């Protein structure tokens, strides 16, 4: 019984995560690699620690976390359609 309940719960969580974002990775015209290069232009010498595709304020963006040398990590939002960096679309933590 516990196994069935656990399976049902994990199925519900999976479906809710899929429904949370109307965009799919195939909707992005900018690849993860391209978005990382765009973000690193803002922080030369930095290192990408995470990159994920998200919907922020209804817009598909790559949220790129960069750790600059000797500084705190920063998140750069790169529009996944245009490749533009827009502080208004910064992912919030």
Q: Does residue 92 surpass a pLDDT of 50?
A: no
For residue 17, being part of any structural domain is answered with no
| Closest listed residue to residue 47, CA positions, set 71, 72, 68 | 68
Q: Which residue has the tokens 């519900």?
A: 12
What is the pTM assigned to this prediction?
Answer: 0.67
What was the pLDDT predicted at 41?
A: 94
Give percent of the chain with pLDDT exceeding 70.
65
For residue 15, being part of any structural domain is answered with no
Please give the residue range of the domain that contains residue 71. Answer: 22-89
Q: What is the pLDDT of residues 25-49, one digit of tens each?
A: 667 899 999 999 999 999 999 999 9
For residue 14, being part of any structural domain is answered with no
User: Distance between CA atoms of 83 and 3, rounded to whole angstroms?
Assistant: 45
For residue 1, being part of any structural domain is answered with no
Say how many domains are in the chain.
1
Mean pLDDT computed over every residue of the chain: 77
For residue 12, being part of any structural domain is answered with no
For residue 10, being part of any structural domain is answered with no
For residue 26, being part of any structural domain is answered with yes
Three-state SS annotation for 1-67: CHHHHHHHHHHHHHHHHHHHCCCCHHHCCCCHHHHHHHHHHHCCCCEEEEEEEEEECCEEEEEEEEE
For residue 76, being part of any structural domain is answered with yes
């Amino acid at each position: 019984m516990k196994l069935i309940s656990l399976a049902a719960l994990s199925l519900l969580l999976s479906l809710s995560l899929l429904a949370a974002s109307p965009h799919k990775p195939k909707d992005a015209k900018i690849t993860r690699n391209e978005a990382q290069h765009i973000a690193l232009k803002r922080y030369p010498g930095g290192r990408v620690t995470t990159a994920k595709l998200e919907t922020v304020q209804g817009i598909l963006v790559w949220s790129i976390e960069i750790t600059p040398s000797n500084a705190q990590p920063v998140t750069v939002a790169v529009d996944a359609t245009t490749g533009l960096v827009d502080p208004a679309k910064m992912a919030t933590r």
